[in-house]
Chains A and B, each alone.
Chain A
């Protein structure tokens, strides 16, 4: 019972609530799949899937810009029969898809989602770290998890007892080994500068100096390429290249077992983009503003946040009005249905814009909490801490969504590499660049006088 009484109840509530962040990668799948499909459509100058709809009585059809299509696909995968071909290794065949998907829930534990929450509760100063596990070996833990998740693909390929899956698994394992090395080495430069494996420390170093991408531009590109390769996405998807290997290691899988691989891949993208945003783009830190400044002007910060959101909503409305004007001018038969749908979005958009503006003005005028400085640390109320955490979280999400887009962008831009080209790139080019970068960084850091 000592361990429970050692902290106040609010600390326990927040600590337990933080476990909700484990589900962020899974939620990102909901975002990434439509983003991938419509993004691919955008790249190839077509619409992308947008025809599925939900029929609402007395109103009409709702398509949610093609989002309903993804719901249909999900439902289809979910209700399909689980099927194992004859001759497979039953146990491993069923266990394999669960491995990468289980890692998905573990990996978010070490990412700092917001800066350490410091606030006053009663007469005590409470400090809560932004990650679920505030470990001193955070980055390494993440690397370990991602290397273990590759075993899912290997087991799947081996258990399926088919040549194609087997070759896919072999390629996955060799690619994971090669690109893990590059990933780790290109990471070392920024770790050297920050002087810590702890992700929160790395972010706070970036907050007080420069972003990792400025300090380590070469390492950033090495890391980006290596992590794209590690997720096994095009142009590095030799493990599931359909002209050679049907579908690689998950050829024999169907229904939700295939779905688990699919979701594991997307969640891996999500985690890697969070990692890149954390290591090289300042993580949760707001550009040009330190956390202390933000907390001192909490009302203003919230007002600016509401302003940005309202601007986004207005941009969305602008897009809608332009679409409707174009659509009215055409002779398409279904244009009235679509216009009816757009009317709903317009109403929602205007309500959101007005609410956001009102919230922003209220925050600006009426919310000016006092701050105290205890031992050089700004200590505010719980509301200030939660507000800061919220802003931090949103900033991190924006950064990571940008990198998710980079993944999709790369996939639909570059053609697939040949297997030997991938190995050549990994071992002979990126590894050496990362090594040289590490040496140069170490020498410069030493000459400039340590951290």
Chain B
């Protein structure tokens, strides 16, 4: 019961921070929300009985990687508050696509039989991989989750490539001088 309350609180914080990453105007706010999201994810890891993973999440992701990300953001355009519009013409295509994808994934996840068992989470690589991929043993739930993660990562990569391409294609007139 107590664990459930903790889980709900942490999950709400994690999801809220993740939404803030999407909605924040300035990349630094996005990075900060991502840190909050990661720290609450670490709390969830601790809750399901793998504190090592949680601490490594804090150390590596919230500590080192996000520190690097904030460093890069600050080097690139830290002193300048970028006021890029949240929606433009491309959004007409992007938002429906994202919604359709989210609906598809949500439908798949809801339909997938996911029996959550804390004991299967601890243990060796062999045990973990068996519970992930042995469809006959644990049902297709975890396998589906794994595939969805792959899809998510793919879309993130496509987005990153798109962003990088846009930056390359545009005229190099980025004035990084601050004007506050």
Binding site for B on A (CB under 8 A): 87, 135-137, 140-141, 143-145, 147-148, 150-151, 154-155, 158, 161, 163, 166, 169-170, 173-174, 176-177, 180, 184, 197
Whether A151 contacts B74 by the Cβ 8 Å rule is no
Which residues on the A side are within 8 Å of B55 (C-beta)? Answer: 137, 140-141, 144
Which one, B63, B68, B178, contacts A144 given CB within 8 A?
B63
Which one, B35, B58, B63, B71, contacts A174 given CB within 8 A?
B71
B73 to chain A, nearest CB (A): 9
Which residues on the B side are within 8 Å of A154 (C-beta)? Answer: 67, 70, 74
Whether B74 contacts A173 by the Cβ 8 Å rule is yes
| Total number of B residues with any Cβ neighbor in A under 8 Å | 23
Which residues on the B side are within 8 Å of A137 (C-beta)? Answer: 51-52, 55
Which residues on the A side are within 8 Å of B180 (C-beta)? Answer: 87, 161
Select from chain B the residue with minimum beta-carbon distance to A136: B51
Which residues on the A side are within 8 Å of B64 (C-beta)? Answer: 147, 177, 180
Whether B78 contacts A140 by the Cβ 8 Å rule is no
Which residues on the A side are within 8 Å of B74 (C-beta)? Answer: 154, 158, 166, 169-170, 173
Which one, A136, A169, A184, contacts B52 given CB within 8 A?
A136
Whether A144 contacts B59 by the Cβ 8 Å rule is yes
Tell me the complex Cα distance, A174–B70, Å. Answer: 10
Which residues on the A side are within 8 Å of B67 (C-beta)? Answer: 147, 150-151, 154, 173, 176-177
Asked if A148 meets B58 with Cβ closer than 8 Å, knowing A173-B71, A174-B71, the reply is yes
Which one, A136, A143, A155, A166, contacts B79 given CB within 8 A?
A166
Whether A177 contacts B28 by the Cβ 8 Å rule is no
A195 to chain B, nearest CB (A): 15
Whether B71 contacts A144 by the Cβ 8 Å rule is no
Interface of B is mostly: helix
Which residues on the B side are within 8 Å of A87 (C-beta)? Answer: 180
Mask: chain B, 54-80; 1 = CB below 8 Å from A; 0 = not:
011011001110011011001100110
Which residues on the B side are within 8 Å of A151 (C-beta)? Answer: 35, 67, 70
Tell me the complex Cα distance, A174–B71, Å. Answer: 7
Which residues on the A side are within 8 Å of B59 (C-beta)? Answer: 140, 143-144, 147, 184
Mask: chain B, 71-97; 1 = CB below 8 Å from A; 0 = not:
100110011000000000000000000
A41 to chain B, nearest CB (A): 37
Tell me the complex Cα distance, A155–B67, Å. Answer: 11
Tell me the complex Cα distance, A135–B58, Å. Answer: 15
Tell me the residues in window 18-77 of chain B with beta carbons closer than 8 Å to chain A beta carbons.
28, 32, 35, 39, 51-52, 55-56, 58-59, 62-64, 67-68, 70-71, 74-75
Select from chain A the residue with minimum beta-carbon distance to B69: A173
Mask: chain B, 113-137; 1 = CB below 8 Å from A; 0 = not:
0000000000000000000000000
Select from chain A the residue with minimum beta-carbon distance to B53: A137
Tell me the complex Cα distance, A158–B56, Å. Answer: 27
Asked if A170 meets B71 with Cβ closer than 8 Å, knowing A137-B52, A141-B55, A161-B180, the reply is yes
Q: List 22 A-B residue pairs with CB atoms under 8 Å apart, sorted by A's residue number.
A: A87-B180, A140-B55, A144-B59, A144-B63, A147-B62, A147-B67, A148-B39, A148-B58, A154-B67, A154-B74, A158-B28, A158-B78, A166-B74, A166-B79, A170-B71, A170-B74, A173-B70, A173-B74, A177-B64, A177-B67, A180-B64, A197-B52
Whether B71 contacts A148 by the Cβ 8 Å rule is no
Which residues on the B side are within 8 Å of A176 (C-beta)? Answer: 67
Given contacts A141-B58, A143-B63, A147-B67, 14 further A-B contacts (CB under 8 A): A87-B180, A137-B55, A140-B55, A141-B55, A143-B59, A144-B62, A147-B63, A147-B64, A148-B63, A151-B67, A151-B70, A169-B74, A170-B78, A173-B67
